[in-house]
Amino acid sequence: MRTKKQLLNLGFLCAGMFLGGVLAGLAIANWSHSARRQNIDITPERTVTITLSAIIDGSDRFIFAPDTAYNEHSRWKPPQNVLFNGQPWEDLSQPPAGWPELARNLDLSKAKIVRGRAGDGLE
């Protein structure tokens, strides 16, 4: 048989655990609501890999933006045999075929190069 003090301690313990659970639940609900309010996407990200291959004997930059993609050539020879996702990219002043559809839902702020110098790739 438990004493009055033990029963009182057990009551405080149960009440404390209940209150702790309620507070944890409220914290999770508030965080989730806050994330939705701030338009934070809490769904898994989709990864798209873009391949770009070319013979480059000069100083070039390939610019990718949601509304356009193009080559910025500085000096020496312009890029040759340029392939974008395996398809020829002939006019480097214009986006490659299919870019508007591909770029429509991409977050380019998170793009990164995934392979070293010879054969760079953009993820």
**Mean pLDDT, residues 60-86:** 87
Res 35: pLDDT? 47
**How many Cα neighbours within 13 Å face the side chain of 25?**
6
Q: How many Cβ atoms sit within 10 Å of the Cβ of residue 71?
A: 19
Residue 4 pLDDT grade (very low, low, confident, very high; cuts 50, 70, 90): confident
Q: Band of the pLDDT at 61, cuts 50, 70, 90? A: confident
Task: Report the chain's mean pLDDT, rounded to a whole number.
Answer: 74
The pLDDT assigned to 123 comes to 41
| Contact present, 58 and 76 (Cβ < 8 Å) | yes
pLDDT for 44? 46
**pLDDT the model gives residue 91:** 93
> What's the confidence (pLDDT) of residue 95?
92
The count of other CB atoms within 10 Å of the CB of residue 99 is 21
pTM of the model: 0.55
pLDDT digits (tens, 9 = 90+) for 91-121: 989 999 888 888 887 777 777 777 655 554 4
Q: CA 86 to CA 98: how far, in whole Å?
A: 12
Q: Is the distance from CB of 64 to CB of 122 less than 8 angstroms?
A: yes
Strand partners, 63: 70
Residue 7 phi, psi (nearest 5): -65, -40
Is the pLDDT score of 25 beyond 50? yes
